[in-house]
Amino acid sequence: MQVSFDLPPAFIPNLVAAIAQHLNAPVATPERKDAVLTVTEAAKLLRGSPKYVRQLISLGKVKYIDANRGTGLRPSYTLMESDVRAYLKDLRR
């Protein structure tokens, strides 16, 4: 079944953002080309667990940002969506 709507172009980014928010998924919009993901959000994108994402980080397979670097606090990891997608692309054979 195919459904089509005649929507004004300015409405589409708002609709996409609303749907993504409803699905609780990160979205890259024209204003936000590369989303910053938490470990949990990256795990959802990879269809794995947060523990799996932390293992990938410790093995150096995924680039990350440590928000607590140099503070003496435990690491607080965030990941760029493009880095997570690059890791997925590298997994393809």
At 60-84, the pLDDT tens digits run 999 999 988 888 898 899 999 999 9
**43 pLDDT tier (thresholds 50, 70, 90):** very high
When pLDDT is averaged across residues 15-39 and rounded to a whole number, the result is 72
* Residue boundaries of the structural domains of the chain: 33-91
- CA-nearest of 50, 61, 59 to 91 is 61
The residues, ordered by sequence, that sit 6+ positions from 74 with a Cβ below 8 Å of its Cβ are 68
Q: Which residue reads 């994402």 in tokens?
A: 53
* Domain 33-91 bears CATH identifier 1.10.1660: yes
Structure tokens at 87: 């890791």
Task: Give the C-alpha distances (Å, rounded to integers) separating 88 from 45, 71, 80.
Answer: 9, 31, 13
pTM: 0.61
- pLDDT for 68 equals 87
